[in-house]
Structure 1
Amino acid sequence: MNKIDELTPKKVVEKLDNYIIGQKEAKKQVAIALRNRIRRLSLSEDVRKDVIPKNILMIGSTGVGKTEIARRLAEVANAPFVKVEATRFTEVGYVGKNVESMVRELVDSSVNMVKKEMMEEVKDKAQRLVEERIVEVLVPSKKRAKAQPSFMDVMQLFNQNAEYSQNKDYDENEDENIRRRREELLEKLRKGELEDVEIEVEVEEQSSPMFAGLGPELEDMGIQFGEMFQNLMPKKKKRRRMKISEARKVLEPIESEKLIDQDKLIQEGLSRAENRGIIFIDEIDKITSKGVSSGPDVSREGVQRDLLPIVEGTTVMTKYGSISTDYILFIAAGAFSEAKPSDLIPELQGRFPIRAELSDLTKEDFIRILTQPKNAILKQYQYLLETDGVRIEFTEDGVERMANIAFELNEKVENIGARRLYTVVEKVLEEVSFEAPASGEWELKIDSNYVDLRLGKVYGDEDLREYIL
């Protein structure tokens, strides 16, 4: 049993609980959807092809955790993930992004994920190759130590292997000296004694996009054509002078990429996107017709109809090859404050059979969000200020006061959910963050009195709080 097979729905919810407060029902539903995908992979081929993911529609106001649940789910499952806003797409034939671009983004994400894993696997070997390459620069061979080669010298390189056996014009003793010097320097290099030594290395020159300035509707096509032409053209190289410590960082990814099987990389990337990919479509309520009596909004309804084949299952061409969307898990989300899920076209409603309603956050939820999750908001600020020698202690009444203020602001101004907490905490710690670097080491206790001192004037003034908090 591998790691992903061990992800039972209960374990998934437990992992999500480390980052997200509340929303038990939504967590439970996404955990079941993830487990069903794992179960599907264990089925026989003839049964597996008929089992499609049950897509999820999340309904809840902003800042209650819709995006975070989907993002953390992908992280737990080590699945390719992409988040898009439904409002960025336009109907085919209109200026704007095509809905197929989100599938291409998913494939890019998947390939990059697999590439990162493969590079980690060959990291040790790549580091050894980088060390050898650096040592060769420090102690060049007799041929490399010569001046810049002439055109005839370059042409002769094509027959290098044949000529090598016929013309041994190098001094064997000198070769032995070079080998010995390289071994000595390699030992020093591995001990970290040469990190500040400057060397000159050859690196590929970064070229600017060939199709920069295209409209959004041609952006994807332009990128793919640009990459195709760049692959056909020889890559330009330039020599850069840098410290060995920097050269390691520059050369390691280059050497790692040479060790990776590119065909295997692309094949695994496409497969992972097809079978484990998650696409999160936010603000789907913004592309409903909202029940307008004068007739449907052509562009909005058109986007829904363009989304339909992607969600139902179709084949999309990408720069890495074709990908089927049949088994990609789609999670759509929206506040649905002005529209209802029933305002979506019936066909699209049917492709999102699982409905997860997320509840608004309470004062108690805000208190827990500030303190309980892994790397919670207050912990983040404590870690940040500690780097400048400032130790912050949040008292229980101080945390409660910040949570109450955030909750009341959501009630009185506009409900932006947990995002309001960042605004409140940032304002409370504004003066400390400003003074910290120059004040040396000190400690600060933040209680309800301190919170009122920092927020009292702004919170008490209705006009100010609308603009500042």
Structure 2
Amino acid sequence: MLRFTGQKLAKSYYSRIGRYAATASGKLAQSRLSNIQTPKTLKKFLDEYIIGQDIGKKVLSVAVYNHYLRINDKQKKRELQRQRDLIEQERLTDDKDEPIFNGNSESKAGWKNLQRQFNSLGQEVEEDLELSKSNVLVVGPSGSGKTLLATTLAKILNVPIAITDCTQLTQAGYIGEDVEVCIERLLVNAEFDVAKAEKGIIVLDEIDKLAKPAASIGTKDVSGEGVQQSLLKIIEGHKVEIAVKRPVKHDIDGQKNQTTTKKDEIFVVDTSNILFMIMGAFVGLDKHIVKRIEDIRKLHNITEADEPSTINEQERVKNLRFSNTLEQVELDNGKKVCALDLTTPSDLVSFGLIPELIGRVPIITALQPLQRDDLFHILKEPKNALLDQYEYIFKQFGVKLCITQKALKKVAQFALKEGTGARGLRGIMERLLLNVNYDCPGSNIAYVLVNEATVDSLQETEHSLASHVDVKYYSGDQKDDLIHDVYEEDKKLGAMLEKDLGNSARIHTHTIQSKF
């Protein structure tokens, strides 16, 4: 009778333990790789917002995928260990008065069966293998899309992101911001959810401004190497205590102004799962890389016989000092690449970053300077394109903005000449449309045409742009004139306007088309 009761209780116990094992299996399944966007999916999403930079997008997509794969792996291991501890505790405390765990063969066989279940659950988890964190360093000229890449990745991953300008950081005790401010901002953007913040992205922008020049050796270092040293602990992954003023109450004062009551709170954030993306333009790094490669070629006697003299080389560097064009390097196979593509950790150390910091950022990728075609496509193709934004703005006050393809190419050419990358496009468009934006609201203007001649009129001198342009305005009953003028320069846009605005100018526009 006792034996029968013991067997019955044992079956009941193992049934309950089996449910624990099933729960563990389910929780492990929830964190499988299907929940992580694949590198191809990430790059496809980036392609919708960012023009060009294919290599950079691939590198970042793989880095982000592997980073969150590492986080999932750690979660699996913690969950598996927690379930094992739970079952062990249950085994030690359950039914102490019954002879279930008295060492008989049935008890041992049941326990071994449970162990086999957990071993099968943990087959995909190498419990003794710990994946290292791989932070990313992105090198690229201003306006090449460094920050946009990071913010777009955060958007698809649905994780909080905080961008900190390193030029504002100083050592503790000096006027400025301590390095912990980047974690504080991430915590705020995560709505003070520590678990959410610990899976976020921190962007340290303008990291090259922390490079300590050789000329400053022996002087007080407020925002250079000292700040780099302070960043080491955070980037590598440690628990950091952050004191934050957290909003706890919103109210309206007697003058109907909104007031916020804040409370000091202490948060402990583990940075081991936070992805750090370090970025900088590193102006002049390309010339350093070219010099390094040329020195190596001289050492191995593989330089060309007609190599320019040292005087000519110095003159070449002097002429390029204020140029926005990055140096090109011709490889042994005859292919030319941007010098930044050949960046090595030693180049960054020579630039002024400390080796300890570079060692914590194993992934280095370079973005290419944008060319005219890139800038042209940026104006009209990606989601949230600049042209779409301006068309929407003009639509708000009842005006249809028409810009020809030739005009957009000319805008791209001006932006390329200014050397400010994609950011320069908005500045040129603002100057181009300043008077238009001033004249149209509240007027009888229904259509605005910006063609190549309009953009040409923006050129004041060889090196500067004006704010006064020759723009064509049309009232609501001048559709025919608008379509006629558009067809003279942009047949595709003309056809679209003819379709959208009606058929009143069909015969007239067919006459224009026959000329092309």
Q: Deviations over 1:272-309 (max 9, x none)?
A: 211x2100001100011133374476221110110111
The one-letter code of the counterpart of 1:278 is I
Identity %: 34
Change (3 A) 1:23 1:296: farther
Query: What is the alpha-carbon distance in structure 1 between the residues aligned to residue 231 and residue 36 of structure 2?
Result: 33
Displacement of 1:29 after TM fit? Answer: 1.5
- Of the three residues 209, 230, 237, the one matched with 1:313 is 237
User: Does the Cα contact within 8 Å between 2:404 and 2:450 map onto a contact in 1?
Assistant: yes
- Of the three residues 197, 204, 210, the one matched with 1:273 is 197
Query: What is the alpha-carbon distance in structure 2 between the residues aligned to residue 24 and residue 48 of structure 1?
Result: 36
Q: 2:427 matched to which residue of 1?
A: 423
Displacement of 1:52 after TM fit? Answer: 3.6
Q: Deviations over 1:91-116 (max 9, x none)?
A: 123222111121111111112xxxxx
Alignment of 1:110-129 (within 5 A): 110-111=190-191
Q: 2:209 matched to 1:286? A: yes
Alignment of 1:58-457 (within 5 A): 58-111=138-191, 269-274=193-198, 276-292=199-215, 294-295=217-218, 298-299=221-222, 300-318=224-242, 319=265, 321-338=267-284, 341-342=348-349, 343-408=352-417, 410=418, 415-453=419-457, 455-456=458-459
The one-letter code of the counterpart of 2:348 is P
Structure 2 gaps, min length 5: 1-29, 79-126, 243-264, 286-346, 470-516
Q: Deviations over 1:418-463 (max 9, x none)?
A: 111111111111121111112135112221012223x03x2x253x
Q: Deviations over 1:156-214 (max 9, x none)?
A: xxxxxxxxxxxxxxxxxxxxxxxxxxxxxxxxxxxxxxxxxxxxxxxxxxxxxxxxxxx
User: Does the Cα contact within 8 Å between 1:57 and 1:352 map onto a contact in 2?
Assistant: yes
Change (3 A) 1:28 1:101: same
The one-letter code of the counterpart of 2:362 is P
Change (3 A) 1:296 1:21: farther
The one-letter code of the counterpart of 2:170 is T
Change (3 A) 1:296 1:305: farther
Change (3 A) 1:74 1:292: same
Query: What is the alpha-carbon distance in structure 2 between the residues aligned to residue 423 and residue 85 of structure 1?
Result: 22
Q: 1:11 matched to which residue of 2?
A: 41
Q: CA RMSD in A?
A: 2.5
Please state whether the residue corresponding to 2:365 is helix, strand or coil.
strand
Q: Deviations over 1:197-244 (max 9, x none)?
A: xxxxxxxxxxxxxxxxxxxxxxxxxxxxxxxxxxxxxxxxxxxxxxxx
Query: What is the alpha-carbon distance in structure 2 between the residues aligned to residue 93 and residue 296 of structure 1?
Result: 17
Change (3 A) 1:467 1:316: farther
Please state whether the residue corresponding to 1:21 is helix, strand or coil.
coil
The one-letter code of the counterpart of 1:22 is G
Query: What is the alpha-carbon distance in structure 2 between the residues aligned to residue 311 and residue 328 of structure 1?
Result: 8
Displacement of 1:17 after TM fit? Answer: 1.1
Query: What is the alpha-carbon distance in structure 2 between the residues aligned to residue 402 and residue 85 of structure 1?
Result: 29
Change (3 A) 1:294 1:397: same
Displacement of 1:49 after TM fit? Answer: 8.8
Structure 1 gaps, min length 5: 112-265
- Of the three residues 117, 130, 133, the one matched with 1:50 is 130
The one-letter code of the counterpart of 1:39 is L
Please state whether the residue corresponding to 1:90 is helix, strand or coil.
coil
Please state whether the residue corresponding to 1:15 is helix, strand or coil.
helix
TM normalised by structure 1 equals 0.61
The one-letter code of the counterpart of 2:137 is L
Please state whether the residue corresponding to 1:42 is helix, strand or coil.
helix
User: Does the Cα contact within 8 Å between 2:411 and 2:455 map onto a contact in 1?
Assistant: yes
Query: What is the alpha-carbon distance in structure 2 between the residues aligned to residue 466 and residue 348 of structure 1?
Result: 45
Change (3 A) 1:388 1:467: closer
Please state whether the residue corresponding to 1:379 is helix, strand or coil.
helix
Q: Deviations over 1:287-341 (max 9, x none)?
A: 1113337447622111011011111112112335211111110001111114652
Displacement of 1:407 after TM fit? Answer: 1.2
User: Does the Cα contact within 8 Å between 2:162 and 2:201 map onto a contact in 1?
Assistant: yes
Q: 2:259 matched to which residue of 1?
A: none
Query: What is the alpha-carbon distance in structure 1 between the residues aligned to residue 201 and residue 400 of structure 2?
Result: 40
Please state whether the residue corresponding to 1:445 is helix, strand or coil.
strand
Displacement of 1:12 after TM fit? Answer: 0.7
User: Does the Cα contact within 8 Å between 1:4 and 1:77 map onto a contact in 2?
Assistant: no
User: Does the Cα contact within 8 Å between 1:52 and 1:327 map onto a contact in 2?
Assistant: no
The one-letter code of the counterpart of 2:47 is D
Q: 2:120 matched to 1:40? A: no
Change (3 A) 1:296 1:48: farther
Q: 1:139 matched to which residue of 2?
A: none
The one-letter code of the counterpart of 1:89 is L
The one-letter code of the counterpart of 1:446 is V
Residues matched between the structures, number: 303
Please state whether the residue corresponding to 1:18 is helix, strand or coil.
helix
Please state whether the residue corresponding to 1:437 is helix, strand or coil.
coil
Change (3 A) 1:48 1:369: farther
Displacement of 1:7 after TM fit? Answer: 1.2
Query: What is the alpha-carbon distance in structure 1 between the residues aligned to residue 439 and residue 467 of structure 2?
Result: 24
Change (3 A) 1:52 1:465: same
Query: What is the alpha-carbon distance in structure 2 between the residues aligned to residue 331 and residue 356 of structure 1?
Result: 11
TM normalised by structure 2 equals 0.55
Change (3 A) 1:62 1:294: same
Change (3 A) 1:358 1:296: farther
Highest RCO, 1 vs 2 (Cα 8 Å, sep ≥ 6):
1
Query: What is the alpha-carbon distance in structure 2 between the residues aligned to residue 293 and residue 109 of structure 1?
Result: 36
